[in-house]
Amino acid sequence: MKYISLTTVILSVAVIVGADPISQNPIGLPCNNPGDEACGTITDYNSGFPFVYTCAPQNTVNHFVNCPCATCCVIDGHSGLCTFP
């Protein structure tokens, strides 16, 4: 029979609980201009690069795409996209 150390289990749970949800996903964060797409950045998210997001009618982010560089987020009217260097 194999045993897993209680210390290993506690450390694993601490890492999972200590993970910052913002660093994983901006969905649900507040936004302006429902129905529009925009560029956003969050400290320590996507290596500091921007992401294009859609603002839902509830003024929250409901869809996003991470951009690969600092100047790759482009807004044209009400639509946004990530360009590639």
Sequence spans of domains, the chain:
23-82
**37 to 32, 47, 71, 78: CA distances (angstroms):** 10, 21, 16, 6
Q: How many residues does the chain have?
A: 85
Q: pTM of the predicted model, to two decimals?
A: 0.70
Q: What is the pLDDT of residues 35-84, one digit of tens each?
A: 999 999 998 899 999 999 999 999 999 999 999 999 999 999 889 999 98
Q: 38, 55 in Cβ contact below 8 A?
A: yes
Query: What is the spatial distance between Cα 82 and Cα 7, in angstroms, rounded to a whole number?
Result: 43
Q: Which two structure tokens, joined as six digits, stand for 59?
A: 């003024």
